[in-house]
Structure 1
Amino acid sequence: MEAIEAIDHEKELRQLVTIIFTTSAIPSNPSTSIVDEVLESFNFVPGLVNCHVIVTFDGYIVVEDGVETKFKSMKISAEEVTKYIEYQDAVHELFRQRFGLTENMITESSQDEFPIKRRTTATSTIIKDIDPTTGAALTVIKMGKRIGFALAIREALKHVHTPYVLIHQHDWTFLHPINFTKLVDAMDSNPSTLHYIGFQSRKSLKRKIRPNLPLPEPIDIAGIRIAPLFFWSLSHFLSMVINVCRDGKVWTALNVQTLRDEYRIVCGTGCICRYNSNKASEHRVPMQLTEEQLYIGMKHGFLKQDNELGDVKSTETWLGSAWSTLVSVFTAPVAEEPESKRQKINEQVSAEEEELRLRFRVFEDLWLKGYYITSGSKFGGDFLTYVADPLTDHATSIVIVLDSSKLSPHNLVGYGRLARSVKKYCVLAYTNQYNQLCYMTINHTSTSSRQENK
C-alpha cells in the first residue's frame, strides 16, 4: 500500500509542479559535476524527478583575446564558448538520463524570437523531448544572446502548463528531505495568502539581524510552519504560476503582454508597457484593468482577481501596531443621515449598478466579436474599438452606452458632431423593450468618405 501511495504522490506532483532549471557558463565547463551533484540532491524531494523540467542556457558575449573573462555577465572567450557548447550538450544528456527519457522519446526542435527591450529582440533554440512510454518531458531552451536570469525565467514560463513552478539555479542543492506535496497542498488551500515559498541557504541564515527590527512571527498554514519574508529572493523558490491581477492591477510586464496578445485585453491607456522607471506611470507596471476587463477575464476564466490579505488588519504581528495607527488616523466616524437622503443615495447606487451591468454587456459583446477595446473617455465616449492592436491601428469607432433607447434631437446632433470631430464612427449601444442589445451607428459624410478612401 505504501508503494502505491508513493506512486500516486509522484503522479500528482508531476501534474502540479514544473521545474525550471537555469544555468550559464561557469569556469568548470565542460564538466557537469556541479549539475550532477544538484540533481543527486533531488532525491531529498520524493517525486521531483518525475516532474516535467525546463532547462535554460543563457547566451553569451564573445570577447577578444586578452580581454578579461567575466562569467557573471557572460563575457567569455572563443575557447570558453567551445567548452560552454560542450557543457550544454552534456547537461542535456544528463537530464535525459536522470528524468527517465528512453530511446523511445520523440524530439522536436524550433526557433523563437522574443522582445527583450522595446526595440530589441533575441532568438532561442527550443528542443522538446517527450517519452510516450514513461510520460517524461524535457524542454531545453538555448538563448541566442545573453539575456540574464529574469528574462530566461520569462521565456521558460511560456512552456509551463502546471499551476506551480520550482525555480532552481544550477549550483543549489537540497540538504534535507522536503515534502513538496505538502507544500503545494498548503499553497493550494491558501491561494490568497501563500503565493511563494523561498528556501533558506546556509549563507542567508548567517546574515546579521538589524537590532531595532523585530523578527517576523512564524505562522502555521495547513500543517507547515512558515515565516514571512522581508524580501523576495530569486535564488531558489517554489511559486504559483498564475495569470493574476491584484486589486484590478496586473503586476508583471509578461502578463500585460499575454493579456494583449492572447485575449485582446489592453491594460492602461493602450500604449506599450514600459520597463523603464523614468517613463509615465500609466505605462509602467502595475497596470490598471477596468471593471469591464476584470468582468470579462473572470467570466471567461483567464483572470483571477486576488484580494489584499485581510489577516494583517486583525492579527497582532510586527506590523500590527503601525496598521492600527494608520487606520485610526484615516478612518472618519460614520455620521447619521436622514432617511430621505439615504433613500436617494440608494436609488442612485441602484441606477449606477444597472448602468454598469449594461456596460459589461456591451463590452463583452464587442470583445466576442473580435475587437480590441480601450477606454473612450479621451474622446467623450465609453469605449474605443479597434480591428487590430491599438499599437498598429487607429480606433474605428467610439462607443457610447445609453441608459435609454429614447434619443432627443439635440443629442443626436451632438453625437454626429462628435463623430465628425474625432474622425470616427459613433456607435450608440442600448437595450430595446425586450432587453436585447442594439447598436445604432452615426457618422458624418466626410467621416465616411475618409474611411472609404483608406
Structure 2
Amino acid sequence: MTKPFDSDPASGSGVTSQSVSDLLTVILTTSVTPSAPSTELIEAILQSFQRHCPSLTSCRVIVVFDSYDQIVPQARLKRGQVTAEQASNFDLYKNEQEIPLSVIKGEAEFGSPCIVTNSVPFEARQTSDKQVTFIEPSRRLGFGLAVREALRLTETPYVFVAQHDWSIIADIPIENTLRVMQASESDPAVPIKYVCLPAVPRLSCSVIFNLFREFRAGKATRARDDSKHSLTPMFFWHDKPHICSTAHYLARVFPSRLAMLRGDFIEDKIGQRARTQMKEGLWSKWATWLYYPDDGKQLCLRHLHGRTWRGTEGEERKLALYRAQNDITDPTDEDSTSRAACSSDLVPN
C-alpha cells in the first residue's frame, strides 16, 4: 500500500473550501417503467441519497425523462417499445411536479451530420435558480445521450450520475471523494477523474493489480481519522452510479456526435473501447477508480429492477392473481408462501 495522498487545503494541494453543492450536480435518468405513474421507484433512490449521502440533496439536480419510440401491444422497454397504457402512465409520471419553470429548447444530435433525421428535439424546463432541471426529449435518447444532454447543462466541475433503479445502501463520503479528485488535478501522476460505487464484491482487485491506494481528504483528528478514502483503479467505465469530472466526461465519452448513437449505453459503447486502451497502457487517459471501503467487502448499491417492478400496488395485484390461479388460500402454508415469493420481483425499500 502506498502512503496516503493528502488533499488537505493546508498542504498546498490547491483544494478549495467550496461546498458539495458548489462542486457537484446530480444527474438522474428515468424512463418508462411498469410502476409508472407511481413515483415510488425514484422516491426510493432519493430516500437512499438522504439516508446515506445527504449532501447530494443540496446539489442541483438534472432529471432526464427519456422517452420512447413506439407504442406496441407487447412492451420491450430496452428497445423503446411501450404499450399504450405505459405511454399514458409515463405522461402522468412526468407531470407530477407543479413548480414554475422556464423552457429551453434544443436538439440532441448523433451520428452522421449528413442525415437530417439524426437529431432529437427536446425541452429543458428549469427553475429560476437552476436548482432543478427537467429534460424531456420528443423521442428516446438512450442512457448515453441522456447523460450527454444533462452534462451540457451542468455548471459544476463534477457530476454524480445515477439511474432511477440503483439505490445507495451504504454511507458514501461525497465530500472526501470530491476533495481527493480536486487534489489530483495538481498531481498528474495520480489522476482521479471518475469514481464508481461498488455493486458486487471486489475482494481480489487490490491483489490482482497491486494498485490499491489510500487517500486522505483533510486533516485527521486525534480521536478519529475520518479522512481516509480508499480507492482502487478500475479498468472499465460503468454506467452504475459514479462521480466524474464534467469536463473529462465530455472530452472522453462524448468527443463528437459520432461517439454515441441513439439508444446506446455508455458502458457498452465506450466502456469496451476504454478497456482496450487501458490494456494498451493508456489507463491514465481514462483515470477510472472504484470506491473501495473495507478492503472491497462493503457494497454500496442495490439494483431495484426498474424494468420489471410494478410498484407496490402492482406487485400486490400480481401476487393476488398468482394465488388465485394456484389456489393458494392458506398464508401460513410455507410451500405456498415460498412459491408466491418467487413470483414477485424485487421491491424497493
TM-score (norm 2): 0.59
1-structure distance, mates of 2:93, 2:259: 36
Q: How does 1:8-407 map to 2 (within 5 A)?
A: 12-43=19-50, 44-64=52-72, 67-90=73-96, 92=97, 107-118=101-112, 119=115, 120-131=118-129, 137-191=131-185, 192=188, 193-201=191-199, 204-205=200-201, 214=208, 216-222=210-216, 223-242=228-247, 251-252=252-253, 254-256=254-256, 309=284
- Is 1:57–1:141's contact at 8 Å kept on the other side of the alignment? yes
- Is 2:122–2:135's contact at 8 Å kept on the other side of the alignment? yes
1-structure distance, mates of 2:46, 2:17: 17
* Distance change in 2, residues 1:71/1:47 (3 Å): same
Question: Which SS does the other structure have where 1:145 is aligned?
Answer: coil
Specify the code of the residue in structure 2 equivalent to 1:77.
T
- Is 1:10–1:50's contact at 8 Å kept on the other side of the alignment? no
1-structure distance, mates of 2:196, 2:283: 20
Question: Which SS does the other structure have where 1:68 is aligned?
Answer: coil
Shift of 1:217: 3.7
Higher RCO (C-alpha 8 Å, min separation 6): 2
Question: Which SS does the other structure have where 1:87 is aligned?
Answer: helix
Question: Which SS does the other structure have where 2:34 is aligned?
Answer: coil
TM-score (norm 1): 0.46
Shift of 1:183: 0.6
Shift of 1:274: 6.7
In structure 1, runs of 5+ residues without a counterpart are 1-8, 94-104, 258-272, 277-284, 286-306, 313-454
Determine the structure 2 residue equivalent to 1:265: none
1-structure distance, mates of 2:138, 2:101: 20
* Distance change in 2, residues 1:127/1:229 (3 Å): same
Identity over aligned pairs, percent: 24
Shift of 1:309: 4.7
Specify the code of the residue in structure 1 equivalent to 2:184.
N
Specify the code of the residue in structure 1 equivalent to 2:88.
T
- Deviation track 1:6-58 (CA, whole Å, cap 9, x = no partner) reads xxx99711110000000010111111111111111112213211100000011
Specify the code of the residue in structure 1 equivalent to 2:80.
M
* Distance change in 2, residues 1:26/1:106 (3 Å): closer
2-structure distance, mates of 1:38, 1:236: 11
2-structure distance, mates of 1:274, 1:237: 20
**RMSD between superposed Cα atoms in Å:** 3.2
Specify the code of the residue in structure 1 equivalent to 2:95.
D
Shift of 1:109: 1.3
* Distance change in 2, residues 1:206/1:85 (3 Å): farther
1-structure distance, mates of 2:69, 2:202: 35
Specify the code of the residue in structure 2 equivalent to 1:45.
C
Structure (1 or 2) with the larger CA radius of gyration:
1
* Distance change in 2, residues 1:68/1:21 (3 Å): same
* Distance change in 2, residues 1:16/1:275 (3 Å): closer
Shift of 1:184: 0.2
Shift of 1:206: 7.9
Specify the code of the residue in structure 1 equivalent to 2:81.
K
- Is 2:161–2:242's contact at 8 Å kept on the other side of the alignment? yes
2-structure distance, mates of 1:42, 1:230: 27
2-structure distance, mates of 1:181, 1:275: 31
* Distance change in 2, residues 1:10/1:106 (3 Å): farther
Determine the structure 2 residue equivalent to 1:323: none
1-structure distance, mates of 2:128, 2:102: 9
- Deviation track 1:142-170 (CA, whole Å, cap 9, x = no partner) reads 11111200000011111101000000110
